[in-house]
Amino acid sequence: MQEEYKKGILDRLADFLVIALGSFINIFKRDWKKKNKSKMEEWRLMLYALNRSPPGLIGVFLVLVFIFFGVFGPRLAPWPYNYFPFFDNGTAYLAPPGTQVYLPSHETIMSLHLGADHYGRDLLSLLLAGARTSFVISIVVIVLGVPLGILLGLIAGYYGGKTDELVMRITDMFLAFPALILAIALSAVLPNRLQAFISSHAHLQSFVLWLFGLHMREAGNLGRLLSVILAMIIVWWPAYARITRGSTLTEKENLYVEAARAIGLSSWTIMFKHILPNIIGPILVYITLDFGSVILMEAGLSFLGLGATPPIADWGRIVYDGTQFFPKAWWLIIYPGLVVMLVALGWNLLGDTLRDILDPKTRRSIEFKVKKTKKMEEKEGEENA
């Protein structure tokens, strides 16, 4: 058991990360580091606990790889998503993995490590470019959908009475639909309006194109891509409203809320500065898990032919187009599906570990271990001195 007390390289990295983050916040808020020593200590203990869980580390690794390719994927792709080698050289059509194709117009040889689709496009490049699509969609859905749900849940739970009744009845209306069905119906009817909207806002349009790493020519397809995003936001917020309301209801009975009210703090301050930080733990776990769910659902929707249209690179869409050539072009189904699974698995592993770390019941043992470490170190220091 001696090993548990040793600080590994990952623990040192955790120390560094926490100090760096603290110093960063200190730039904006004076004396933040001094005032929040215990908070930083807690973050450090959480990272230590993460370091002691192999599944969690695998999750972190997969998620970091996904984020890396989400940001740099389109740049790292050897070939652009909108170049169709098929028109240069017909043998590129559904070329199996490992084929080399000569492209007369470029006077180069294209090596298709993972095979090609029916436009002759390199599957590896498509997967790399598709990482950006998945990444942006999951971030946008979570960043817009979750805070909306949390806000409504806080309001409903804190004010109670008629406000609660109204908000929760609306939430129930949305929760009455199976998520996938509502998302399918919405992403089927939304594109026209969204296309009209995005076409009339040139700046927004170029921003969205830049975000997804798309060429100007794809502007006409943005409506469909955005419809999936909006549909998933509409599907996603109600669950968070319900969770947040539930924990707010129990949390607001606590004495500290009453004390805050007694000294005359405004409802918004109490909700956001006092209640929210106390209930955010479980919500963070749900958010982590839901990154995986959003990516899975997006892949499912584009597999059904909704959302991204060719030539936009999208993992689910590659499979949808590849099914016409099944089982001959197996690589068009196996590889994109495998990538989706690994990414979802990464988020799920991370979320699962976070759940253990944030749960006070299971965390105690971990904290105990690490605290012992420090005492041991002090002892060692004394001995050395």
Partner 1 sequence: MIKLAELKKFLIRRILTFLPTLIGVTLIVFIIAYVIPADPARAWAGGEKASQEAIARIKAQYHLDKPWYDQYWFLVSGLAKNTLIDPRTSNPVMDDVGKRFPKTFELALVAFFFVILIGVPLGILSALKRNTWVDTIIRFFALIGVSTPVFWLGYILIFVFFVKFRLINLAGFPAYPSHQITHIPMIDALLTGEFTIFKQHIGRLWLPGFVLGFQGAGVIARFVRNSFLEALSSDYIEFLKAKGVPKLKVYRHALKNALVPIITVLGLQFGGLLAGAPITETVFGIPGMGRYAIQAIQNLDFPAVVAVTFIFALVYVTANLVVDILYAVIDPRVRY
- Per-residue binding letters, 314-353, with partner 1 (x by CB under 8 A): --x--x---x--xx--x--xx-xxx-xx--xx--xx--x-
Cβ neighbours for 384, distance < 8 A, ≥ 6 positions apart = none
Nearest Cα neighbor of 314 from 324, 303, 326, 323 is 303
CB of 232 to partner 1, least distance (A): 15
Among 192, 206, 250, 266, binds partner 1 (CB under 8 A): 192
Please tell me whether residue 263 binds partner 1 under the rule CB under 8 A. Answer: no
For partner 1, give the closer residue by CB, 193 or 273.
193
- Per-residue binding letters, 47-86, with partner 1 (x by CB under 8 A): --------x-------------------------------
Q: What letter represents residue 374's amino acid? A: K
Please tell me whether residue 131 binds partner 1 under the rule CB under 8 A. Answer: no
* Contacts to partner 1 from residues 142-171, by CB under 8 A: 169-170
Please tell me whether residue 182 binds partner 1 under the rule CB under 8 A. Answer: yes
Which tokens hold the place of 107? 């006077």
Backbone angles phi, psi at 375, to 5 degrees: -60, -45
CB of 270 to partner 1, least distance (A): 28
Please tell me whether residue 196 binds partner 1 under the rule CB under 8 A. Answer: yes
Beta bridge partners of 111: 100
CB of 178 to partner 1, least distance (A): 3
d(CA 227, CA 191): 5
d(CA 205, CA 198): 6
DSSP state, 122? Answer: B
Cβ neighbours for 127, distance < 8 A, ≥ 6 positions apart = 114, 313, 315, 318, 335, 336, 339
Query: What sign for the dihedral angle of Cα 31, 34, 40, 44?
Result: positive
For partner 1, give the closer residue by CB, 84 or 174.
174
Interaction site with partner 1 (CB under 8 A): 55, 169-170, 172-174, 176-182, 184-186, 188-190, 192-193, 196, 292, 296, 299-300, 303-306, 316, 319, 323, 326-327, 330, 333-334, 336-338, 340-341, 344-345, 348-349, 352
